[in-house]
Amino acid sequence: MTGLDIRIVEHALQFKKPAGTSRGTLTEKPSFYVVARDLEEDGRIGIGECSLIPGLSPESAQRARLELKKLAASGTLDPKSMSLQYPAVRFAAETALIDLLTEGTGTLFPGPFTEGRPVPINGLIWMGDVADMVGQAEDLIARGFNTLKMKVGALDFEQELECLSAIRAIAPANEVTLRLDANGGLDDEDISVTFGKLERLAKFDVHSMEQPIRPGQWKKMQAICIGSAIPIALDEELIGVHDTDLRRNLLHLTKPDYIILKPSLIGGLIEANHWIDLAEEVGAKWWATSALESNIGLNAIAQWAADAILEHPAPLPQGLGTGSLFTENIPSPLRVMQGTLRMDTPAAPLNGTPQRWDYARILS
């Protein structure tokens, strides 16, 4: 789409409280908004978000800043012509374009979700000590979540087992589904050590284990997918794999039970759809997860995911409940209620045009 006035707004997201991850503790993260105004359609505006996770996103904040500056200077949104080496930049351009093409209302994928139908999501337990993590689990259960996701592999393993035992005491397997995410933290030169840990973790009736070993070890991952006591989900493994044949080879070799789709890390929604098509060839299921976007990016991913699972009678809970993490988030119609993500009805019209976002605040 050409003939656009494109502005880039840099907006660092501040966490309400330090967020413990396997890559360290985050207090803030880089984020940029792509705000595109159509000069030929009554000033219609489309917005997308470039959200980065330091240490995980393929592009640095500096690189993203340069690529976004080029995008603004071009006056054009053409995601397919953009390099997949900068997936978050491409996702921002793609979602800004979709927003423009759907009349700039923030309703990118009109349908049941945007009309109020909820999408199930998992509750995330952030890393901490045992008491803190069990407390988080209690709070999530009280808020109606029946699927919990917990990080493992970064703390003392015996301590993590103690934590899981305490969580299962308040969240029995017949009531609460438990997902684990190792972010490569169970990797060991001796694969039998990894298998031993997976076997001990399996005793807690675990639904799935995301990325047990570091990415890029396809033959080792193949062995783990075959022999693991817990169903395996590929996550970071998908990042940077752009070629169709390579993607197909990865999935056909490892045959994972699940894949995890983070559009900001794999190049956007078109690329996520491509991964889904390839996963179906090997019988792998999927769910979407945010890359800790603000409500702008979360809105786009949630609508896409809801549209993609529309026909599924029992969709897997998505990993999309991160909008409340930040102090300076953009007000949004997204609401987390009883373990689901819901969308309010569209906001009141702005200057006679239905809009979801406070553009004056975004551009200030």
Q: Per-residue pLDDT tens for 59-84?
A: 999 999 999 999 999 999 999 899 99
DSSP-derived pairing of the beta strands 13-21 and 232-234: unpaired
Q: Per-residue pLDDT tens for 24-72?
A: 677 788 999 999 998 886 788 999 999 999 888 999 999 999 999 999 9
Within a 10 A sphere around the Cβ of 161, how many other Cβ atoms? 16
Which entry of 29, 149, 197, 262 is annotated as an active-site residue?
262
The answer to whether the CB of 105 falls within 8 A of the CB of 346 is yes
Which entry of 29, 149, 151, 197 is annotated as an active-site residue?
151
3-to-39, 44, 72, 83, 352 alpha-carbon distances in Å: 6, 12, 11, 21, 23
The model carries a pTM of 0.92
151 catalytic, yes or no? yes
* Cα separation, 175 vs 172, whole angstroms: 6
Cα 144 to the center of its chain, rounded Å: 21
Place of tokens 């970064």: 154
Q: Cβ neighbours of residue 242 under 8 Å, at least 6 residues apart? A: 84, 267
* Cα separation, 313 vs 116, whole angstroms: 17
Give pLDDT, residue 173.
95
Give pLDDT, residue 285.
96
Mean pLDDT (the chain, rounded): 90
* Angle between helix 157-170 and helix 130-142 axes, rounded to 10 deg: 30
Domains in the chain with CATH codes: 4-104+349-363 (3.30.390.10), 119-343 (3.20.20.120)
The answer to whether the CB of 197 falls within 8 A of the CB of 165 is no
* Residue 189, SS3 per DSSP: coil
The answer, yes or no, to whether residue 347 has pLDDT greater than 50, is: no
The share of the chain scoring above pLDDT 90, in percent, equals 70
The answer, yes or no, to whether residue 353 has pLDDT greater than 60, is: no
Least confident range of 162-166, 205-209, 309-313: 309-313
The answer, yes or no, to whether residue 252 has pLDDT greater than 70, is: yes
Q: Cβ neighbours of residue 254 under 8 Å, at least 6 residues apart? A: 218, 221, 222, 225, 232, 234, 237
Q: Which of 278, 272, 220 is nearest to 249 (CA)?
A: 278
The answer to whether the CB of 177 falls within 8 A of the CB of 146 is yes
Work out the average pLDDT over 276-302: 94
Least confident range of 85-89, 122-126, 223-227: 122-126
Give pLDDT, residue 334.
87
Give the pLDDT band (50/70/90) at residue 361: low
Q: Which of 117, 120, 74, 118 is nearest to 96 (CA)?
A: 74
Give pLDDT, residue 351.
42
Work out the average pLDDT over 9-14: 89
The answer, yes or no, to whether residue 3 has pLDDT greater than 90, is: no
Work out the average pLDDT over 171-181: 96
* Cα separation, 108 vs 162, whole angstroms: 44
Give pLDDT, residue 39.
85
Identity of residue 34: V
Give pLDDT, residue 114.
87
